[in-house]
Structure 1
Amino acid sequence: MAVDRALWWSVWWPWAVVWVVTALALLVALGAVVAAWRGRGRYAVAPGVPGVPIYLDEKAVMDLYQVGGYGDAMTKEVVDRVGTTRDGKIALKGLDVGVEGARQSGREVVKTYIENSEPIAVVGVLLGALESAHGVVHVDLRDRTVRGDVALERALGDGARTARLRRIDAYVSVRGEFRETGRHDGTRVFQAPYGDPDDPAEGPQVVVECQSAGLRPDVVPEGVFSARCLGRVQAWKAGSGEMVIRPIAVFL
């Protein structure tokens, strides 16, 4: 019997090693997939546009590209979206440069793309660049939540347990129930309350002032409407309880 076992082991031990190695490899691969999925759920937000854009400040988009530190991310987003032709040229109307040339002339790539694209496409590129660079914090005014991701950790510092909107020194994407509250010289003002009060005018408010030239008046709803504002915190007015955000884009 001992001889039979020795004979069996001498024949099958290489296959046993293969099976063990294969099982270990599968376990490692499964662990990597789970870790990646958890990391994606914690940090990543699917790029794209979460609705119909009703406002876009094109100058602010270019300012963000030029001085905001997201030039490489925006150039990559544009190149990824428009693609290249068979000869390696950027497939963008009015621009005839190769991929290397696009990297060297990124500002012109983005500028030409914005000038030749619909607002919804521009907003998509902007959001994709900000998300890939972990440059935007997501806020929901209705349930008073701030999404914890890399951008929030950078804005508040590691180990922070609470987040105040007025303390966030980063671009914010704020979801809330907005309504128009005023019109001034070339501007229209929208406000949204913190939480979900019965009277939307009650309590602290987020105030967004949009340039009329960048608005799509035929799309702006009447009354109270759910919308998301992408911008940056500009000021906190403690006396009136108003948080002023400079908008780059607003979409339903």
Structure 2
Amino acid sequence: MIRLLMDTMCKEDRLVDADLTTGVLQPNRAVAARLRERRREDIALSDVMSEFVWVTARFTASRPEGGDIVLRAGYGDGRPAHIRMTCAVRDVREQFRDEEYSDGIEFQARCLGKVRSWNRQARELTLDPVAIFR
């Protein structure tokens, strides 16, 4: 099902590809058009609003007070920021609930998410997760 979704989103140019391990961000047509309107060539992940994002990053996970699993991945130089995704425990595979993901260990993953918001003060881009692949 995810493959069909990804193929369709790529074909219709609805996906922004963000590889935070290399710093490469590939905008879709909509994001590229907004940047041209603003006469900007550089793109920051905070410029990607209301889009689906395919993110490759090194994440850490936490589970505050036994609640949902919160994934974070940092990005950027100078004024670093981070991505945040909250995953409902009931919706993740059992192996992902293991304690090793709750004590701050870094792991690489690819995630498909929908941008929810950008918090300028916290420098935090919040994504609603669709799928996470380790």
TM-score, normalised to structure 2's length?
0.77
Q: Do residues 213 (structure 1) and 96 (structure 2) align? A: no
Flag the structure with larger Rg: 1
Aligned residue-pair number: 123
> Against the structure 1 CA distance between its residues 203 and 181, is the aligned structure 2 distance closer, same or farther, given a 3 Å change threshold?
farther
Render the CA deviation track for 1:209-248: whole Å, top value 9, x for unaligned.
Answer: 1111211131466321001111122122222222111111
Render the CA deviation track for 1:14-73: whole Å, top value 9, x for unaligned.
Answer: xxxxxxxxxxxxxxxxxxxxxxxxxxxxxxxxxxxxxxxxxxxxxxxxxxxxxxxxxxxx
Identity %: 23
Contact (CA 8 Å) 1:146, 1:163: kept in 2 or not? yes
Distance in 1, matches of 2:30 and 2:117, equals: 20
Q: Please, which of 215, 231, 234 is the counterpart of residue 113 of structure 2?
A: 231
CA deviation after TM superposition for structure 1 residue 176, in Å = 0.6
Q: Do residues 180 (structure 1) and 61 (structure 2) align? A: yes
Distance in 2, matches of 1:184 and 1:247, equals: 21
Aligned to 2:33: 157
Q: Please, which of 8, 21, 31 is the counterpart of residue 142 of structure 1?
A: 21
CA deviation after TM superposition for structure 1 residue 195, in Å = 4.7
Q: Do residues 129 (structure 1) and 8 (structure 2) align? A: yes
Distance in 2, matches of 1:164 and 1:195, equals: 9
CA deviation after TM superposition for structure 1 residue 139, in Å = 0.3
Aligned to 1:105: none
> Against the structure 1 CA distance between its residues 218 and 224, is the aligned structure 2 distance closer, same or farther, given a 3 Å change threshold?
same
Distance in 2, matches of 1:191 and 1:240, equals: 13
Higher RCO structure, 1 or 2 (CA under 8 Å, sep 6+): 2
Q: Please, which of 46, 64, 68 is the counterpart of residue 166 of structure 1?
A: 46
The range that moved more, 182-191 or 139-148, is: 182-191
Q: Residues 1-252 of structure 1: matches in 2 within 5 Å?
A: 122-148=1-27, 151=28, 153-157=29-33, 159=36, 160-169=40-49, 170-183=51-64, 187-195=68-76, 203-219=80-96, 222=101, 223-252=105-134
